[in-house]
Structure 1
Amino acid sequence: MVKCGIDRIGEFGALFRGKRLGMVTSVSGVTLDLRPGYVKFHEVYPLVCLFGPEHGMYGKDGAGEDVDDVARDSATGLPVYSLYGGEEGRHIAPERLETLDAVVYDIQDLGTRFYTFISTLLYVMEDCAAAGRELIVLDRPAPLDGVTVEGGLLEPEYRSFVGAYPLCIRYGLTAGELACMVNAEQKLGCRLTVVPCTGWERTRLFSETGNLWMMPSMGIPHFSTALVYPGTCLFEGTNVSEGRGTACPFEMIGAPFVDGAALAVTMNREGLPGVIFTAACFTPYASKHKGEPCEGVLLHVSDAHAFRPVRTGVTLLYRIREMWPRQFRWKPRDGKPRRFISLLAGCGAFEDEPPAPEALLAAWEADSAAFARRKAAYHLYK
């Protein structure tokens, strides 16, 4: 059993006692027994206010939807401020920070660059550094292990809220380790403290921690979803459904123009490690292709340690594009300078005619190897 930072707060009384504290958290910030972490924390060290990221503090808002402030949290009576579209925007307002001595961060994220909880963490670090306030990260395991790195390094010109720092897509760091890296590399001068986990080893996936999964948003209902997400989220930049509006978001990929049986045969011939594809028929009840019968494939991860989601997602994307070239489309720019696929990929490979998949993946593997060496200096766990 892994103890997260929230489960160890009683050991760190000197760190919290007597301070005016705000907490950035979400529905995934739970204790070992699945109590809301902020409720437990508030019982021991009274909080002044709460802040929520994308999807809201309760995880009920859709991807990309502005989240409004909540007048009061029903469990604690504390005010809740949105850091994703409320009056605060995406930063903590300076006047709000004046009422606090420290900000506590407690969210279980996905270990994937474009899942925006880490973008909120980095923005809050900048806010705390600028205001001379302390930031305390209650650490949690890296859910996709702390060893494996996949995907290309974010290029500076493709920086956005779905890519807020030069990381690989699957970056193999806990939130606390990432905060230490950014603080050191950017020389932010943030007064940063990490309350570490106990019992976690870098090679362990979340499913091997003994802890129960709490979905961080409606689109990531299971750990199996989090496992495929670093690769299949790329389909958000296309006209192919990533499975939103079905029971298997990000695990089921398809479109009205796809032949699911043919695609399953093609993908299984690829020999990708740790995954089997079966044909799927589905009609999304929401999001892309709502109400339209679709065909595609369902991903079955047979070996989570061998499985490489980024390689799998890229291969699947290229094969669908090759098999249905007249119907496949990138998501429109809608007047924006970059395609959304480029912001997700963190590079310009898909701005025009993309390179051969072997060339793209080889370049990304070189990035991953370099990043794995770079991040090792910030490891807090063996």
Structure 2
Amino acid sequence: MRFNVFKNTVLLFVFVMISCASKAKSKIIIKDKIHLTAKNNPIIIVGANQTDTYLSLLKGKRVGIVANQTSVIFKKKKIRAISIDLETNEQSLDHIVEKDTTTHLVDSLLSLKIDIKKVFSPEHGFRGRIDAGELVKDGIDTKTNLPLVSLYGKNKKPTKEQLEGLDIIVFDIQDVGVRFYTYISTLHYIMEACSEQGIPVLILDRPNPNGHYIDGPTLEIKNKSFLGMHPIPLVHGMTIGEYAQMINGEKWLKNGSQCEITVITIKNYTHDTFYSLPIRPSPNLPNDQAIKLYPSLGLFEGTNVNAGRGTEFQFQRYGAPFLNKKTHTFSYTPVANFGAKHPKHKNELCYGEDLKNEELSGVMTLKWVIRAYQNSTDKSLFFNTNNFTKHAGTDKLQQQIVTGLSETEIKASWLDDLEAFKNTRNKYLLYD
């Protein structure tokens, strides 16, 4: 289910209705907020929505929050539906309808008199408007006047000084379950810094839209970077809360330390539950299709092939000027836009594939990367080797593609590592 944010307006929408019996015209006006509830939908209730469970942990504490635009509490807003007869102008109350809305976690906690001292912002910033890879600056949030501390600028790990005066940190960010999506690296550094300062971390868990499968090469520690810090597959099948438990349990923090964490689990969720993200988790993941294809097309980020940035179909197409236009007949031209000021091959005609209607579920595929490499008119232009290795987590994948191995052969080389990871993962699962 999708959720859309509505401003408090008197007139939200108008239906024009025609009576079959009398042919008299009337319209129904939906207006006036009259009630709010605290559930995002009848099935899944995210951690942030369960304020009754965690407010007692925050009362009287000096609080820091790691958050972005996805850190919201979902609500149902009941609206009066008023029927107006267009001939007599008479009004009558027809029925009550519900509309989905949200409030930001920070705004909600401030209204509940929680003493928030500062907000820590990850890649893309607190409001989620900054390009991938672009540095996030410290500052002041104009809405709340809270200080913003960047975790994607001069430092990715909070300093002792930045944590000074805080009693607890709240972590609430929507993830998409892919190793090179950097929010889980931010989680690691938050846990590590808080462990060193003796500060507990409260994690408000959210569903993983790619949580129903595990796939991809496992990171080799020699290739550790902010795009992948631990020996997990490219698609790990865990929520943020589960992954935090793994970080602690496997003693991946500096010096094998552990962070005191409390996870507010998601109600009515399993790893097989379909979840459509209500808010873009980052500027270039605009919809369910992009999120589904991201594990596969994200590998293009380590090449000189454009993966839809600079278009309205990010991670739903790929292309480059050096792909063979006889085999890649779809074409488009990336331009500067929201989330991509400088996309690859900006203002250049790119040849590739349109995947916006591609059916793919429960698997990541290498077929598009392999096909693009094999159909490059100049293969020396294809890989950005260092960056591709960081995304893949291994230098073997590029070698396998270059030597002409099939997807089936490459995937077979992952199997032992995937089985070992699944056995480790089972120890930390919070959901079926």
What range describes the TM-score normalised by the shorter chain of this pair? 0.7 to 0.9
Maintained 8 Å contact 1:150/1:365: no
Question: CA offset at residue 303 of structure 1?
Answer: 4.7
Q: Which amino acid aligns with 1:37?
A: L
Q: Which amino acid aligns with 2:128?
A: G
Residue in structure 2 matched with residue 184 of structure 1 by the alignment:
249
Unaligned runs of 5+ in 1: 264-278, 334-338
Q: 1:247 to 1:12 in 2, by over 3 A?
A: same
Question: CA offset at residue 53 of structure 1?
Answer: 0.3
Question: CA offset at residue 84 of structure 1?
Answer: 0.5
Q: 1:25 to 1:149 in 2, by over 3 A?
A: same
Residue in structure 1 matched with residue 387 of structure 2 by the alignment:
340
Residue in structure 1 matched with residue 111 of structure 2 by the alignment:
43
The CA deviation string for residues 57-80 of structure 1, in whole angstroms up to 9 with x for no partner, is 11111111111112x212222111
The CA deviation string for residues 332-357 of structure 1, in whole angstroms up to 9 with x for no partner, is 46xxxxx1101100001146564513
User: Please, which of 217, 222, 231 is the counterpart of residue 296 of structure 2?
Assistant: 231
Please say if 1:174 is aligned against 2:239: yes
Residue in structure 1 matched with residue 127 of structure 2 by the alignment:
58
User: Please, which of 370, 375, 385 is the counterpart of residue 323 of structure 1?
Assistant: 375
Q: 1:329 to 1:205 in 2, by over 3 A?
A: farther
Residue in structure 2 matched with residue 124 of structure 1 by the alignment:
190
The alignment yields a C-alpha RMSD, in angstroms, of 1.9
Q: Secondary structure at the match of 1:35?
A: strand
Maintained 8 Å contact 1:39/1:75: no
Note the 1:23-38 alignment, pairs <5 A: 23-32=65-74, 33-38=101-106
**What is the CA–CA distance in structure 1 between the aligned matches of 2:399 and 2:428, rounded to whole Å?**
36
Maintained 8 Å contact 2:323/2:377: no
Residue in structure 1 matched with residue 417 of structure 2 by the alignment:
367
**What is the CA–CA distance in structure 1 between the aligned matches of 2:173 and 2:305, rounded to whole Å?**
30
User: Please, which of 113, 135, 138 is the counterpart of residue 204 of structure 2?
Assistant: 138
Residue in structure 2 matched with residue 298 of structure 1 by the alignment:
354
**Which structure is higher in strand share?**
2
Tell which structure's C-alpha radius of gyration is larger.
Answer: 2
Q: Secondary structure at the match of 1:31?
A: strand
The CA deviation string for residues 8-43 of structure 1, in whole angstroms up to 9 with x for no partner, is 122223211111110001111122133222211222
User: Please, which of 302, 308, 312 is the counterpart of residue 243 of structure 1?
Assistant: 308
Question: CA offset at residue 197 of structure 1?
Answer: 1.1
Percent identity, aligned pairs only, is: 34
Number of corresponding residues: 350
Q: 1:217 to 1:237 in 2, by over 3 A?
A: same
Note the 1:152-301 alignment, pairs <5 A: 152-186=217-251, 187-207=256-276, 213-259=278-324, 262-263=327-328, 280-286=330-336, 287-300=343-356
Note the 1:73-84 alignment, pairs <5 A: 73-84=141-152
Maintained 8 Å contact 2:218/2:418: yes
Question: Given the two structures, how large is their TM-score scaled by the length of structure 1?
Answer: 0.87
Q: Secondary structure at the match of 1:243?
A: coil
Unaligned runs of 5+ in 2: 1-40, 75-100, 337-342
**What is the CA–CA distance in structure 2 between the aligned matches of 1:259 and 1:331, rounded to whole Å?**
16
Q: 1:125 to 1:301 in 2, by over 3 A?
A: farther
Maintained 8 Å contact 2:179/2:236: yes
Question: CA offset at residue 326 of structure 1?
Answer: 2.3
Residue in structure 2 matched with residue 381 of structure 1 by the alignment:
431
**What is the CA–CA distance in structure 2 between the aligned matches of 1:64 and 1:323, rounded to whole Å?**
28
**What is the CA–CA distance in structure 1 between the aligned matches of 2:357 and 2:292, rounded to whole Å?**
8
Q: 1:220 to 1:188 in 2, by over 3 A?
A: same
Question: CA offset at residue 362 of structure 1?
Answer: 1.1
Q: Secondary structure at the match of 2:171?
A: strand
Question: CA offset at residue 215 of structure 1?
Answer: 0.6
**What is the CA–CA distance in structure 1 between the aligned matches of 2:358 and 2:349, rounded to whole Å?**
27
| Bigger Cα displacement from structure 2, 318-327 vs 122-131 | 318-327
**What is the CA–CA distance in structure 2 between the aligned matches of 1:260 and 1:27, rounded to whole Å?**
39
Question: Given the two structures, how large is their TM-score scaled by the length of structure 2?
Answer: 0.77
Q: Secondary structure at the match of 2:413?
A: helix
Q: 1:260 to 1:365 in 2, by over 3 A?
A: farther
Maintained 8 Å contact 2:327/2:375: no
Maintained 8 Å contact 1:240/1:254: yes
Please say if 1:10 is aligned against 2:52: yes
Q: Secondary structure at the match of 1:66?
A: coil
Q: 1:365 to 1:35 in 2, by over 3 A?
A: farther
